[in-house]
A and B are shown apart, each in its own frame.
Chain A
């Protein structure tokens, strides 16, 4: 299972975050929210200084590129736990 994180943060900002928090997985930068829009996850003006950012969402994508599990939280404070993700991953070949 390969985690890939996406946000509007620049590569530099994400690199700093990974360094501070010790993350080693892939962090991708979507500064114009193009991919965020493609996934219909745009949250207009919700960022600092009214920037357009992503609303939180997780997708488990199998080796053939098909979504097998997804989590669209209704509340910013409520996040999927690793148990939720592992349950979702059980369906993967």
Chain B
């Protein structure tokens, strides 16, 4: 009975699934936040779920790159590993910049009406082009309600639809 021996150089090196799965997890974290986690205040306000994805991605990438360098005869990825790791770090950096810096760049609005101030009067056009004044909105009965005046108005200033 002969025992087959394969020289290490001829043995096919294993695909380094860790670095690739880590990389895709890091990539998926960004649209994952925008399309899913951003819908729920619990994962939107402090994006811990997304950071968990980045952490898991980092762990996988680290484990994969380590194997590629410690056992290059077994694992591939000495070149792709660091490249994918750098790209994943860039994705995490972008996410950090957007959620910790960019989204906080709001003007102070020191002159905005405070609690107890009279809300400044205004007259603006509604969706049908009709001019509506704040005083009118406060005194007119609400459409669809049995002729009752509103108890108050919730004025919502928003950035706009885009």
Contacts and interface: CB of A to CB of B under 8 A. Distances in A.
A54 B118 contact: no
A74 B104 contact: yes
A59 B53 CA distance: 37
Interface residues of B, number: 51
A77 to B, nearest CB: 5
B156 A5 contact: yes
Contacts of B109: 39-41, 55, 57, 72
Interface residues of A, number: 67
Scoring B132, B144, B159 by chain A CB atoms within 10 A of each residue's CB, the highest score goes to B159
A80 B92 CA distance: 27
- Chain A CB within 10 Å — which of B109, B127, B128, B151 has the most? B127
Contacts of A57: 109, 112, 156-157
Interface in A1-46: 1-9, 11, 13-18, 24, 26-30, 34-36, 38-44, 46
A3 B150 CA distance: 10
A40 B157 CA distance: 11
B44 interface: yes
B113 interface: yes
B138 A58 contact: no
Given A1-B150, A41-B112, A47 B160 contact: yes
A17 B161 contact: yes
Interface of A: 1-9, 11, 13-18, 24, 26-30, 34-36, 38-44, 46-48, 51, 53-70, 72-79, 81, 85, 89, 92-93
Given A63-B149, A65-B119, 7 more contacts: A1-B151, A11-B129, A43-B159, A60-B153, A60-B154, A77-B103, A78-B44
